[in-house]
A and B are shown apart, each in its own frame.
Chain A
Amino acid sequence: MESGQANGSRLDLVLLLLALALFLFVSPFTAWWAGAGLPWYLPFVLWGILIAAVALHHWLERGHGT
């Protein structure tokens, strides 16, 4: 049986992912990567990292049989 605690912790993971998304794209960090003279594809790399994190979360959820 799945415990409520495990359920809650996965909800925490969603909020953690949200925090990561906001950090990457809606925070002063955005100004940093936009002004650092980095390659044009950098935002796509950051975006890809975020998607990979969400995919990992999804994979973990499936592992828990939900």
Chain B
Amino acid sequence: MALELWQLFGVAVAYLGLLFLVAWLVERGYVPERLARHPLTITLSLGVYATSWTFYGSVGFAHSAGLSFLTIYLGPTIAFLLAPILLMPILRLVREYQLTSVADLFAFRYPGAMTGLVVTVFMLLGILPYISLQIQAVTQSVEVLTGRSAPNALAFVFCATLTVFAILFGARHLTPREKHSGLVVAIAFESAVKLLALLAVGAFAVWGVFGGLGELRGWSEGHPEATERLFAPVTAGPWVSLILLAFCAAFLLPRQFHMAFTENPNPAGLRAASWLFPLYLLLLNLPIIPILWAGQALGTPTDPDFYVLGITLVEGHGLLPLITFIGGISASSAMMIVTTIALASMTLNHCILPLRFISRRPQTNLYRWVLWGKRILIALVVAAGYGFYRVIVHNQGLVQLGLISFVAVAQLLPGIVGVLFWRRGTAAGFLAGLSGGALIWFGMLIVPLLVNSHILSGDTDLVAFLAPSGADLWSAATFWSLALNAFLFVGVSLLDAPNEAETKAAQACAEQRLMPLAGRVEAASPQDFERQLARLIGRGAARSEVRKALAELDMARDELRPAELRLLRERIHRNLSGLVGPALAQLIVDDRLQLKRRSHIALADGIRFMEDQLADSRNRLRGLTAQLHSLQRYHRDVLHELPLGVCALAPDGEIVIWNFAMKAVSGIEGRDAIGKYPEDLPAPWGAGLAAFVAGEDDHRFKEVFRVGDRERWCNLHKARIDHGAVQGHVEDPQSGGTVVLVEDRTDLETLEAELRHSERLASIGRLAAGVAHEIGNPLTGIASLAQNLHYDDTAESRQQTADAVLEQTQRISAIVESLLAFSHGGRPRPLASDRVALAPAIDEAIRLVGLGRTEKHIDFRNECPAGVAVVGDGQLLQQVFVNLLSNAADASSPGSPVVVRAHGADGGEVVLQVIDSGRGIDPEVVERLFDPFFTTKPLGEGTGLGLPLIHSIITEHGGHISLAPGERCGTVVTIRLPSADAAPQARMESAT
């Protein structure tokens, strides 16, 4: 039964429409997204490998080359078997660096404007025969089914229809990173259709033509020459070369790369495909030999390439030819749609857009440009395939055309070795090798094709020279092209030292991990990013890209931290890479989002990056590396758990470490501090830390940070990390910077203040009897004067009495004021830096001490010169003097002198001595006198806190205290304090 052309066209369009419906349903969410991510879907989508060549041509190939047709599927089996070391690393690179095509991958590994361009142009040329193969298969299949020569317009109409569907599938709208979940499911659907169609034809061949498996075996036993013809080419033909070519094609063909890596939504799917995809290919090939033998048994009049269709027509089976035709359309259309989408993307990214950008004509709308660019290029690629189909004479077998493309794709093999394993490979080496291999390919395979098609005239001398008679053309072409390619790649790479970009790219590829981000972006905010990008990619696209990147990174729009902005730049770079390719994305960010020239590694990110990497790769570490990792974790934990605030600054002042204690002290989370400069931290920490880091002091004591109602008392210490900042010519990013330690003394200060207060109150308690006496005397006087008032009859005498009363009350008031001043305050407060004149301060202390020791009549002598003054806190120093004089009085016998002297000394100091003539001190206990709760007084008379507090106060003032026996008897207490009259510098030195 012959089918009409219009019927076939209608079926083909209806089928493509069904495919589009499938894709549309998936993209609109009517079909669960997990279907697109399912390993079986991913495996079936990889079935785009099987084109018309497989569907129709395999039978013809088996007819002419026996079992050699299997090589085209054994190659992918080996490639997918190596998925863990071959495909997964490429997938990781593609995902991490947002690469969208095989040209992107090579342009990333071999940086330079030419790499992507050369790969793209070569792939375009190399794949044209393959596209023309599909067109030829469809037109010939129509001829077989209609029984008439296909009209010239048929191929054109087929190409036009496919162009429309390719645009609908791949360029209907712009998707990030070429992700079309609908396309994945549609191609998987097509793969299932062509498998079912081929199995149906195979089943028809076995049971419909032969009558069953036993009959098929019987036929083969009856025709031993048929079996021999199958097996003979295994040892005599280009068996190994074809396996090698198919191995390369399995993942380097643009359509394979597109489906396996670019569109693949699930890495686990690729792992499962390591055995599912070969199984799919096995099932696809099982019917080939039965179909071949069925065609031979039936004497099918068609070319063996179309036995698949031919045997169904001989028996006049109504529906099967149509199913087979749909299977063929599936095979051709899937290949052409995916290939044109992939090639259009490559051409746009590496040929068109760079020219546009190099011409410095700012885009008004990048998205529209990309979208329409892809649409036009899809049409142009199909048109180019159609043109190639038109110019070649159609006497080429389907397999021959396909193998020409396979040899072309195999030229990427040396380059892929450089991507995955050989870091020394350079862009120059890659381009030289690819060019050499391409020349051989063109000379040995394309020129003869053009000569046969009468496009070129002349001899094919190169073929005769490189593949002398008897040698197999495919083996010779594969060997010579790859040999020259590899030789030039290795030779030129070794002669050409890799530049910095190549070294980094090679490292990123070979180690399969991201590199730490270096440098600081000149743009200071996301808004700056938008403004800068708008000049090159248009305002709308710039805003959209920046906001998308911010959302992906979960960053605020007012983000200003340099490290975070560096991350933002990197994310925009990658997103643009998915949109316009890595080369152009690099061009855009280098041009508009420049890094500061003399900037250090963003250490915050470096540390974050390395810790992430170590965490990710800890399973793979072993031996000394694992131990070093454990040590690193231990040190990190020590640093973070340290009960002392640690804040480390990078050489450029950026905060890189902010430990838990720092968070507890400041209330600022590490994630909010890391990556910022100290001055950008919230008040009061920002200004305080920044001033300390910028200042000359390495230590600051009792710095007060007021947070709301609370005060934080902190000692600050800092140290420069200078050693090893530069090692030879290589700057070590981990060296340099500053480490700041923050010691929270708030609790200790509160305790000390309370202790001092208690001690003062205790002193007042000890003075109580004397105070009562001192106040009692004037009170008695006042009472007497008040009684006398009754008898004062003159105004003058009343005036005298009133003056006397006033004098007595002033005496009481002075005593009370002294006591109040002495006892005041139990809360910590900042150390005052007042000028304290010693003579009046000692007088006041003597008066206070004298209140409680009236019965001993101690002879206090203040011999301090009038002008001697120190810098300090008057109240605290008063406490010191009172305690010292009390101790001296306690140790002295009644009536004995206690002398206080003071004089200036070298180094901006004042030396004050309290000398008593008491019983002296035992030299054995001198060292313990400043220990808390140590006392030489009888039980109940001393707290043991006086001298320790004195020591603490003097030390806080930057002074020094010591005790020594007197010359003859008694004790000499010597205090050195910063002089109020010394220069500030001298005071500072004295204090430190």
Contacts and interface: CB of A to CB of B under 8 A. Distances in A.
Interface of A: 1-5, 7, 10-11, 14, 17-18, 21-22, 25-26, 30-31, 34-35, 37, 39-41, 43-44, 47-48, 50-52, 54-55, 57-58, 61
A34 B234 contact: yes
B360 interface: no
A4 to B, nearest CB: 4
Contacts of A5: 622
A7 B991 CA distance: 61
Q: Which 4 A-B pairs have the closest CB atoms?
A: A34-B234, A4-B622, A55-B275, A54-B275
Contact of B70 (A21, A43, A54): A43
Contact of B235 (A11, A25, A31): A31
Interface string B267-295: 00001101100110010011001000000
A64 to B, nearest CB: 11
Contacts of A40: 220, 227, 230, 289
11 contacts: A5-B622, A14-B81, A14-B84, A21-B81, A25-B74, A39-B227, A43-B70, A47-B77, A47-B282, A50-B77, A50-B81
A44 B620 contact: no
A43 B274 CA distance: 19
Size category of the B interface is 35 or more
B67 interface: yes
A44 B626 CA distance: 45
Contact of A21 (B77, B217, B239): B77
B235 A34 contact: yes
B832 interface: no
Interface string B945-956: 000000000000
B417 interface: no
Interface in B75-102: 77-78, 80-82, 84-85
Chain B contact surface mostly = helix
Contact of B278 (A3, A4, A14, A54): A54
A18 B220 contact: no
Nearest to B280: A51
A10 to B, nearest CB: 8
Contacts of A51: 77, 275, 278-279, 282
A10 B83 CA distance: 12
B405 to A, nearest CB: 22
A22 B622 CA distance: 31
Contacts of B217: 39
A4 B271 contact: no
Given A18-B82, A30-B239, A31-B235, A58 B285 contact: no
B243 interface: yes
B240 interface: yes
B121 to A, nearest CB: 33
Contacts of A2: 619
A11 B77 CA distance: 17
Nearest to B232: A34
Contacts of B85: 11, 14
B218 to A, nearest CB: 12
Contacts of A52: 275
Contacts of B227: 37, 39-40
B230 A11 contact: no
B231 interface: yes
A11 B240 CA distance: 25
Of listed A4, A41, A61, residue having the most chain B CB within 10 A: A4
A21 B84 contact: no
Contacts, number: 91
Interface core residue of A2, A26, A48, A61 (most chain B CB under 10 Å): A26
A57 B83 CA distance: 12
Interface class of chain A by DSSP: helix
B286 A18 contact: no
A5 B271 CA distance: 21
B930 to A, nearest CB: 54
A35 B78 contact: no
Given A4-B619, A7-B619, A34-B231, A14 B82 contact: yes
B74 A35 contact: no
Nearest to B621: A4
Contacts of B234: 30-31, 34
A47 B217 CA distance: 20
A35 B240 contact: no
Contacts of A55: 275, 279
Contacts of B78: 18, 21-22, 25
Contacts of B74: 21, 25, 47
Contact of B243 (A26, A44, A47, A57): A26
A47 B271 CA distance: 19
Given A43-B70, A51-B275, A51-B279, A17 B239 contact: no
A26 B247 CA distance: 13
Contacts of B620: 4, 7
A57 B80 CA distance: 12
Contacts of B220: 39-40
A48 B878 CA distance: 98
A20 B540 CA distance: 56
Given A34-B67, A43-B67, A54-B275, 19 more contacts: A3-B622, A4-B622, A4-B626, A25-B74, A25-B78, A26-B240, A31-B235, A34-B235, A39-B227, A40-B220, A50-B81, A51-B278, A51-B282, A52-B275, A54-B278, A57-B274, A58-B271, A61-B84, A61-B271
Contacts of B274: 54, 57-58
A3 B74 CA distance: 33
Given A55-B275, A58-B271, A30 B235 contact: yes
A14 B621 CA distance: 20
B104 to A, nearest CB: 26
Interface string B225-259: 00100111011000110010000000000000000
B931 to A, nearest CB: 51
B568 to A, nearest CB: 33
A56 to B, nearest CB: 9
B235 to A, nearest CB: 5
A53 to B, nearest CB: 9
Nearest to A14: B84
Contacts of A30: 234-235, 239
Interface string B614-650: 0000111110001000000000000000000000000
A41 B279 CA distance: 15
Nearest to B83: A14
Contacts of A3: 619, 622
B972 to A, nearest CB: 68
